[in-house]
Amino acid sequence: MDSLIYALGVIVFFVGLMGSIALHEVGHMWPAKKFDVKVSEYFIGFGRRLWSVRRGETEYGIKAIPLGGYVKLVGMLPPAKNAPVETGDADHPTRVRSSNTGMFTQLVADARASEYEQVQPGDQNRLFYRKPWWQKLIIMSGGPLVNIVIASFLFGALIMGIGVPNATTTVDLVSDCAIPAAEAPRECTAQDPVAPAVTAGLRPGDVITSFNGEAITDWEQLTGLIRDNDDGNAVIGFVRDGEQRAVTTDTLVSAREDLEDPTRTVKVGFLGVSPTLSYEREGPVTVVTTMGSLIKATGVAMVDLPARMVGVVEAAFGAQREQDSPMSVVGASRVAGELASAEDASWRERVSDVVGLLAVVNLFVAVFNLIPLLPLDGGHIAGALYEALRRGIARLRGRPDPGYVDVARLLPIAYAVGLLLMVMGVLLVYTDLVNPVRVG
């Protein structure tokens, strides 16, 4: 049964992720068509075609490698200035010839030429680069904005529908031993000290009411008192079967996750109890504040990504994989399966975890695509904004219109970034197969 639930979690997450990618590309395609940009291809996946169908001038289909998708907007690169053309004129080419030499120069020239292979007579005003900057901005922002909308919808369904998990003062689990945070999750060994909660005789279902004489009102308060107690004496008051009781034990010092910075561990007092969760529905304000805090956290994660990829490389060769390590589609799907089949978890918790994971991935995809580098959406967005700025300054100074921004000049950078992304993708998939992130 667990294996079936695991497989169901993987499938549901993977299908949801592919659906998110499909909608991301619709976020580009729909405004492009509305602004009369010629769209020749819409594909989910990369590599070899598995299936496709043509509707009008656009070919829709699925490719073999499910690691993304793309929409082909014809004319994203403008022709080179003074480039010879086979038909038309310099402003309205239908096919660009090139006799450039040099590796990067020829790559750029070939890329320009390929842009016009599907340009037909009458398409000149439908080329992407000829559109006003604000239309380019809307088209290229559409994909990331769709992912943000998806994340907002999923978080809204969780927060306002299923509810937000809040830790109560009722004990859910009692740890058998104290395992340092950096080594979790693993089984207890003979070298691990017995958890104080075990020696005190605490059980699941006990409601903790006091700690060293201080009345307990919530789990956060109790956590702080336990951590501050180090290895001192602890008198614990609790209710079991409607009867008020008290036990005495000594907490012990253990390496636990820093509550302020989860990437660090600190030596604090440890008792060995986990809380029962109570789900409470919240309103739209909570959804907005949650999205804001998560967008900020995702931006910080982007900055830290290069350093965290070093940990992935080490994990690929046998080092311990961090719990918050970057993952590929393979790793995230695997985590979804483990969340869906987690022991001692209710169906509400399992659904919340899988849906929450999908929402976080959508948020990551949105923020990542807004990085202002080609070939990411953010690179084209930056180009559109720069074009608006350059033309605006020229207009204010009474100078001639400088024309369209030639993003083709940045193609060497785009190729380097694309190669880096491919290497990262292959490394993440390999590491997710040989040393996956485990759900504790």
String of DSSP letters for 221-271: HHHHHHHHTTT-EEEEEEEETTEEEEEEEE-EEEEEE-SS-TTSEEEEEE-
The answer to whether the beta carbons of residues 13 and 332 sit under 8 Å apart is yes
Instruction: Please indicate, yes or no, if residue 196 is contained in any of the structural domains.
Output: yes
Q: What band does 104 get if pLDDT is binned at 50, 70 and 90?
A: low
The answer to whether the beta carbons of residues 368 and 302 sit under 8 Å apart is yes
Active site residue 338: no
- pLDDT tens profile 157-172: 999 999 988 899 999 9
CA distance 338 to 104: 46
| Domain containing residue 427 | 1-37+127-163+283-440
CA distance 286 to 284: 5
pLDDT score at 112: 75
C-beta atoms surrounding 2 within 10 Å: 11
- pLDDT tens profile 386-407: 999 999 999 999 999 888 888 8
Instruction: Please indicate, yes or no, if residue 87 is contained in any of the structural domains.
Output: no
**Active-site residue (options: 25, 115, 338, 387):** 25
Domain boundary among 280, 302, 337: 280
| pTM, full prediction | 0.81
Q: Convert 182-201 to b/e letters by CB count within 10 Å (16 or more is b).
A: eeeeeeeeeebeebbbbebe
Torsion of CA 269, 273, 278, 283, to 10 degrees: 20
The answer on 201 and 262 residing in a single domain is yes
The answer on 352 and 303 residing in a single domain is yes
The answer on 265 and 322 residing in a single domain is no
Number of domains in the chain: 2
Domain boundary among 236, 251, 280: 280
Instruction: Please indicate, yes or no, if residue 252 is contained in any of the structural domains.
Output: yes
The answer on 148 and 188 residing in a single domain is no
What is the CATH number for 170? 2.30.42.10
The answer on 141 and 1 residing in a single domain is yes
The answer to whether the beta carbons of residues 171 and 206 sit under 8 Å apart is yes
The answer on 171 and 153 residing in a single domain is no
Number of separate helices (H) and strands (E) present in the chain: 10, 12
The answer on 140 and 20 residing in a single domain is yes
pLDDT score at 245: 93
The answer on 372 and 323 residing in a single domain is yes
Instruction: Please indicate, yes or no, if residue 94 is contained in any of the structural domains.
Output: no
Among 24-38, 98-112, 417-431, the range scoring the smallest mean pLDDT is 98-112
